[in-house]
Every structure is written in C-alpha cells, then in structure tokens.
Structure 1
Amino acid sequence: MTGQAAESLWPSSSPPAAEQLLQWQLADVAELPAMRGRVRRVLQPTVDSDALDQIILALDEMASNALRHGGVGPVEASIRTTDTGYLVEVSDSAAARPPTPAVDRDPSQGGLGLYLIARMALRHGWYASARAKHVWALLPRS
C-alpha cells in the first residue's frame, strides 16, 4: 500500500476532546484478556452489548497491533468519553510508522483489524508526538 493510500484509509488527525474513563500501561499481549475483562465490568451496566463489543474489539485490535509492531517501549491504551461516543486510543513508540492496513492479503492471515475499526468508527485517525504514535477511533454510544 502506498503512503497516500494508507493515509486515505487511516488519516493523520488529532482526536476530539474527551474525558478519561479507563487507562492501561501494557507490556505483553498476555495482558489483553484482563484489559477486556475490566472494560466489560466497567461499561456493561451502561453500554448496550453491540456498542460494548465494538469498543472491546477496537481496543483489543489496536493494543495488540501496538504490542506486536510498535517498537520497543511502553504501550498505553485508554478509553475516554465524548458527547457522541467512546474514544479508544493506543500509543506506542513507533512514532515514524503510521498505522498501515493490510492490502492484498488472504483474510485468513489476519491484518484486517484496522479496516474493521474504520468501518465501525464515527471518526478515526492517528498522530505522532515527540516520542509516540497515537492511533484512535471514536465509536458510537449505541
């Protein structure tokens, strides 16, 4: 995929302002089941099941991508709230590498998570700070 094609699918942009709800520092994919469980415990009473599944899917996909491909260093993940939805954001130390959805790959080989997130999200994007890449998706409340 060319840089321009990746940019059109996952644009470089800042996320909307949002209020912190949940946050994690992750070092290994083995931590992801506990993260998913915490999201279910906190959000299940107030979020419908379809929206909750989408939040967990996006968070899990973005966090696992960061842990597998994000270079050396900490991975931070968070869920924040806005008036219209839930902002899922994950950062890793690969500030120079934008998120790149898989192209021309057999779906059985994986790599389609960014496509799924883009289709579910109200808005999505990524930006780089001095030391990190931040990938985000704003998911609807219901």
Structure 2
Amino acid sequence: MVAWTREDSDGAAGSAAVSGFVHDGLFFDSPDELVAVAAPFILDGLAAGDAVAIAVSSQNSGHLRKAVGDDPRVVILDGGGSYHSRAAATIASWRRLAARRAAEGFGRLRVIGEVDFGSTTAEQLEWQRYEAVINHAFAATPLWGLCVFDTRRCAEPVLSCARHTHPQLVDAAGRRANPAFVDPARYLGALPVPVEPLEATAPRLVAEDVSDFVALRHTVQARLAETGGPADLLEDFLLAVDEMTSNALRHGAPPVALSLWTAPGTVVCTIRDAGAGWADPFAGYGPAHGEDLSRGGMGLWLARQLCDHVVLRRDEHGASVRLTSRWA
C-alpha cells in the first residue's frame, strides 16, 4: 500500500494547510491495485481532517468500503449519478459539495472519482474536456481529486486523456509529477469538434437576420413543441437558445442568424454572428464573474448545464454556438 505523505503538488505539508485543487491520476488493472492506492488516500485524508467522497462503480466502491470501514466522514456516491450527463453541471455540484464540507469544518474534500466517458464520440469528448477544464475550474477549490482508470475496461482515447490531463500520477510506489501532462488550454484547443449529422440536413427553422427576439422565441418554442419531447428538457433547451441568441445580439456583431434542427429524440440549434466569439477555452464552465452572479455573464454557463452538448466555433465569417439535447 502506498504511503501518502499528506503533501500536495506544491509540497505544502498537511492537507488542511492548502486551499487549492490537486488532481491525481491512478491507472489500475485489479481491485487489489485500486485498494492499495486509494484506501491509504482515504485513511490519510481522515487523519488530516478531510472529508471523503467515493464516486466510482458500485463494484469498486464495495472494495474500498471494505478496506476503510464505515467511517461516517466517507460518503459513497453513485458513480454514474455523481457525474451528470453534462460536465458543467458536474463541476457545479462538486464545488457545492466542497463548499459544504469546508463550512462543516473539514479541510479538503477528497474525491475518488471514476468517470463514465460514455459510448459516443460526443460524450467522450465532453468528458475529455472535463478532465482538462477542472485543472482551471477547481483551481481555488479545496478539493483533492484521485481519478481512477481501469486499464482493462477503458478505451485508449480515455487512457490517453488521463495521461495528458492529470498533473500528478500515483501508484503503489507513490506520487510523482506526470511528464505527459499537457497545459489544459493547449489540450482543449487540440480537441476536435464532434460532428452533428443533423447539420447536414435541411433545418426545421432558419432565421437569417434576427431582429425581433420575442417573435423568434415564440417560433422556436412552437417548433420544439412539435417534437413531442419531454416538456422540462424542451424548456431547458429553449432557455439555452434564448441565452445564446440574446448573447449574440448584445455582444456579437450583426447579422445574428439561427438554425434549428429536430429529429426523433434530438434537437439541435446553432446561433451565429459576425463577431469574434469566445477566446477563452474555459468559457462557460463557471459564471464569467465568479460567485458574483449579479454581474451577469451566466449565459454560456447556463447553456452548458441545460444542454447535453455545447460547441463553440470560429471561422472567417464569425462565431457560432451549437446546442444539442437528446432524449430516449
């Protein structure tokens, strides 16, 4: 079993002495290897005054619970439920949990996490982005993440992502700097844009030069209602469309255009304008002005939580945002 030193990546002794994020990766190929590293991580955290959350598969959480006992400071979360279908929502939920634990007097929140990267290219890219983004999004959060990857089950793109997005790696020999770690902004910039097949078909609605925002909203709402999709999902999607159209009208450059596609179980909307768009690769993974929500800057952040996939693009004609939501 690895002997954790209660030092973070900057060498500061004592978990409670440090307020920022630590992001470690663990590759394992057996339950014994997982337990040999993760159990000491949990026990060391309890000794340091930290809270612990385990968000892994039910099988792996059983192995860890057996190894560390029933300490009430260790919370077992459903692995799939802890990582929402949307990365921005997952980031928000972990921030809230870390804040609650800090208010309760704990040092860090230690998380053993096992992300389900999904089965589609779009899902895998969403979670690849997540692993890179949290290095920035959690920078000031009292959270120590130990992300675990089962090399017997994870596809190579997932393992490659893990190798490039974790500043430190850990195994039975201890923790070490990861020489394959890539600057998160550079990593995000190199990720491809997932193809949305509906964009190659005729749109259900096209507005080439948006001037009457209210009338357009009513038209989009009517087209969405025709899909027969879940009312709450369609309401969320409409709100995201509203936010992104309003953002383009306020901050972009004319003309603002909108295209809407619908198909059984899927809605896609692209909003375009002639402006420069977002230069920040981390845009929308938190409110633009931090905790001061009164200053606005929440449009893209809301869209990332309300839609399954949000894609930002720029070309010589301007900028666009593509929103996608699906239901069974």
- After TM superposition, the score normalised by the length of structure 1 is 0.76
Residues 277 and 320 of structure 2 are in contact (CA less than 8 Å); yes or no, is this contact kept in structure 1?
no
| Whole-angstrom distance in 2 between the partners of 1:32 and 1:75 | 10
What letter corresponds to residue 69 of structure 1 in structure 2? H
What stretches of structure 2 of length at least 5 have no aligned partner?
1-135, 137-183
Residues 43 and 52 of structure 1 are in contact (CA less than 8 Å); yes or no, is this contact kept in structure 2?
yes
Counterpart of 1:137 in structure 2 is: 323
Q: Deviations over 1:27-53 (max 9, x none)?
A: 44xx22111111222232423311221
Residues 273 and 318 of structure 2 are in contact (CA less than 8 Å); yes or no, is this contact kept in structure 1?
yes
Q: Deviations over 1:66-92 (max 9, x none)?
A: 111112x20111211356521121111
Residues 229 and 265 of structure 2 are in contact (CA less than 8 Å); yes or no, is this contact kept in structure 1?
no
Identity rate of aligned residues, in percent?
Answer: 26
Residue 65 of structure 1 pairs with residue 251 of structure 2: no
Residue 17 of structure 1 pairs with residue 203 of structure 2: no
Larger Rg over CA atoms: 2
Question: Matches of residues 1-142 of structure 1 in structure 2 within 5 Å?
Answer: 13=193, 15-18=195-198, 19=201, 20-28=203-211, 31-45=212-226, 46-71=228-253, 73-81=254-262, 84-95=265-276, 97-98=278-279, 100-101=283-284, 102-104=288-290, 106-141=292-327
| Whole-angstrom distance in 2 between the partners of 1:96 and 1:55 | 21
How many correspondences in the alignment?
A: 135
Residues 122 and 140 of structure 1 are in contact (CA less than 8 Å); yes or no, is this contact kept in structure 2?
yes
- After TM superposition, the score normalised by the length of structure 2 is 0.36
Compared CA separation, residues 38 and 96, structure 1 to 2 (3 A): closer
| Whole-angstrom distance in 2 between the partners of 1:12 and 1:67 | 27
Alignment RMSD (CA, Å): 2.9
| Whole-angstrom distance in 1 between the partners of 2:248 and 2:261 | 18
Displaced runs of 4+ in structure 1, greater than 6 A? none
Q: Secondary structure at the match of 1:40?
A: helix
Residues 209 and 257 of structure 2 are in contact (CA less than 8 Å); yes or no, is this contact kept in structure 1?
yes
| Whole-angstrom distance in 1 between the partners of 2:192 and 2:277 | 12
What letter corresponds to residue 316 of structure 2 in structure 1? A
Residues 210 and 258 of structure 2 are in contact (CA less than 8 Å); yes or no, is this contact kept in structure 1?
no
Compared CA separation, residues 41 and 83, structure 1 to 2 (3 A): closer
| Whole-angstrom distance in 1 between the partners of 2:263 and 2:193 | 17
What letter corresponds to residue 88 of structure 1 in structure 2? C
What letter corresponds to residue 13 of structure 1 in structure 2? V
